[in-house]
Amino acid sequence: MRIDVLTIFPDLFTGFLATSIPANAIEQGALSCHVHDIRAHAANKHRKVDDRPFGGGPGMVMMCQPIFDAVKAAESQDSSVPAVRVLLTPQGERLTQPRVEWLAQQPRLMLLCGHYEGIDERVIEELSPLEISIGDYVLSGGELGAMVLIDAVARLQPGVLGHEESAAEDSFSVRSTDGAHLLDCPHYTRPREWNGREVPDILLSGDHAAVDRWRDAQRIERTRVRRPDLLRNSPLAHPQPLPAANTNKPAAQVARATRSTAPSHDDGDGLHGQTAPEGA
Ligand code: ADE
């Protein structure tokens, strides 16, 4: 997939795109990212891209022409691939995992980062982007939102995450059988005891079916306690019994998830298919 970013702060993306998952995705060829400076399209020698608001009021408003020209120039760099235009704004649709999954399947995204008090409404009407907010708070610009979105879609590109970090088991990717999005279960690694705290026995049992049941029950319980809003209209909103090892309680059956489960191999130490960390 190709992502174009339009910003007045292109340098902000340098470290971000050179690190971790976005960097892996780019290195593997699953993602290409092109950052464009909106100021390069300013029609004045001071490279000014904003002006005072008509009607008065505080702050400055980003002007139509530099933004429109920047979008057109970026799009013409590869006109064979149509871009989904996205404006990062606190007034947009709140970003959710289903939306991330949809965006991750598009061949090309054009991310527009606003600044100052906003963008002249006429260029938004002209470009008719999908408007996305990363949360109900106001940032000083859309750049952090663009990075959040890039990271979220990069990790869903085929081959970017290894088997052991499969995106299918993330919070919000696992669903109960009635379709509710669930939070992730707790995770543990070596040592078995740390600071007087033990790893739950069931994870050391080697009984994969029991471990799966326990994890599903944990997902439901966490979601019920922490994010009951995700279970609205779901029977899982009511407390479910947590299964112990080698039992098959109804809650675990209700919670059978729709994720794909890749086969894991067990070395008998409860660390399925993973290299043991130092100091175990
Ligand atoms: N720009 C400013 N605040 C924002 C937010 N919450 N989400 C996306 N873009 C923004």
Tell me how far CA of residue 188 lies from CA of 163, 193, 270, 271, in angstroms: 17, 10, 10, 9
Ramachandran category for residue 43: left, alpha or beta (phi over 0 → left; psi -120 to 50 → alpha): alpha
Looking up tokens 């404006």 gives 87
Q: In the chain, what percentage of residues exceed pLDDT 70? A: 84
Per residue in 198-230, pLDDT (tens digit) is: 999 999 999 999 999 999 999 999 999 999 999
Looking up tokens 């429109």 gives 68
Residue 126, pLDDT > 90, answer yes
Pocket of ligand 1 (CB under 6 A): 88-90, 133-135, 137-139, 141-142, 145
Joined together, the tokens standing for residue 57 give 């009021």
Q: Which of 48, 72, 49 is nearest to 62 (CA)?
A: 49
Tell me, what's the pLDDT at 116? 83
**Is 170 among the residues known to form the active site?**
yes
Per residue in 145-155, pLDDT (tens digit) is: 999 999 999 99
Average pLDDT over residues 97-101: 95
Tell me, what's the pLDDT at 259? 53
Residue 166 or residue 75, greater confidence: 75
Instruction: Please give the Cα distance from 49 to 38 (Å, whole number).
Output: 8
Per DSSP, 151 falls in state H
Confidence of residue 260 (pLDDT cuts 50, 70, 90): very low
Confidence of residue 255 (pLDDT cuts 50, 70, 90): very low
Per DSSP, 60 falls in state -
Backbone angles phi, psi at 43, to 5 degrees: -95, 15
Tell me, what's the pLDDT at 227? 96
Pocket mutation for ligand 1, best pick of 93, 133, 140, 147 (most atoms within 8 Å of C-beta): 133
Residue 97 or residue 274, greater confidence: 97
Alpha-carbon Rg for the chain, nearest whole angstrom, is 23
Cα of 42 vs centre of ligand 1, distance in Å, is 23
- Nearest residue CA, atom 5 of ligand 1? 90
- Nearest residue CA, atom 10 of ligand 1? 89
Cα of 180 vs centre of ligand 1, distance in Å, is 27
8 Å CB contact between 112 and 142:
yes
Q: Which of 254, 94, 119, 72 is nearest to 175 (CA)?
A: 254
